[in-house]
Chains A and B, each alone.
Chain A
Amino acid sequence: EAQVTQNPRYLITVTGKKLTVTCSQNMNHEYMSWYRQDPGLGLRQIYYSMNVEVTDKGDVPEGYKVSRKEKRNFPLILESPSPNQTSLYFCASTRRGSSYNSPLHFGNGTRLTVT
């Protein structure tokens, strides 16, 4: 089954404790992206990657890091989480350069709480 898998689904942590949210896709997609969803603010892009070893900032990259060492994986790293990073996070992927026949596929989300 074609899917984007995020782990964990729920995560509660404390300020300053480094964490990684993993994302993996099995569709051989070149493009991968991370979004955060907050009430009243919709989906905001954090980082995206056009291919292996190619990453770029989205609209709200502060406080986050990403890496793309393999095509299928795109982990989101919070080196020193803060309470304002409490949010619902989504990973997504699609074929690069294609829109009409290749929708953005989303994972089921990771709900992060930073206390």
Chain B
Amino acid sequence: GENVEQHPSTLSVQEGDSAVIKCTYSDSASNYFPWYKQELGKGPQLIIDIRSNVGEKKDQRIAVTLNKTAKHFSLHITETQPEDSAVYFCAARKEWGNNRLAFGKGNQVVVIP
């Protein structure tokens, strides 16, 4: 099955700086890559996703890049704000399979005011 690894496990950044989280996946057939944000006391929530037919997608201060050859994808957060502090999960799966997502172990991002 798919194996997703996420690095680093914890990331601290100064407010206003950029944060980058990288994930690698093992199954070259995977073609859907979402990112979820989990705030304290809440369930994960989708913040951005990308399909394998594109290399980059942006939504305001967040962006995701995908390198299919190297089998890795990254989340970029620019101009970080305190409300960006959360746990971020990457995931991967085959799009038209059984909806099963393979999640990374999560990354704690701390934005220091």
Question: Does A48 sit at the interface, judged by CB under 8 A?
Answer: yes
Report Cα–Cα, A97/B32, bound state, in Å: 12
A42 contacts B103, CB within 8 Å?
yes
A40 contacts B105, CB within 8 Å?
yes
Contacts of A109 in B (CB 8 A): 41-43
Total CB contacts across the A-B interface at under 8 A: 63
Interface readout for B50-75 with A: 1 if CB under 8 Å, 0 if not? 01000000000000000000000000
Contacts of A100 in B (CB 8 A): 32, 49, 51, 95
- Is the contact region of chain B dominated by helix, strand, or loop, or is it mixed? loop
Question: Does B112 sit at the interface, judged by CB under 8 A?
Answer: no
B99 contacts A48, CB within 8 Å?
yes
Closest to A98 in B: B99
Question: Does A69 sit at the interface, judged by CB under 8 A?
Answer: no
Contacts of A4 in B (CB 8 A): 43
Contacts of B41 in A (CB 8 A): 108-109
16 CB-based A-B contacts, threshold 8 Å: A42-B103, A42-B104, A43-B89, A48-B99, A50-B98, A90-B44, A97-B96, A99-B32, A99-B49, A99-B93, A99-B95, A100-B32, A100-B49, A100-B95, A106-B45, A109-B43
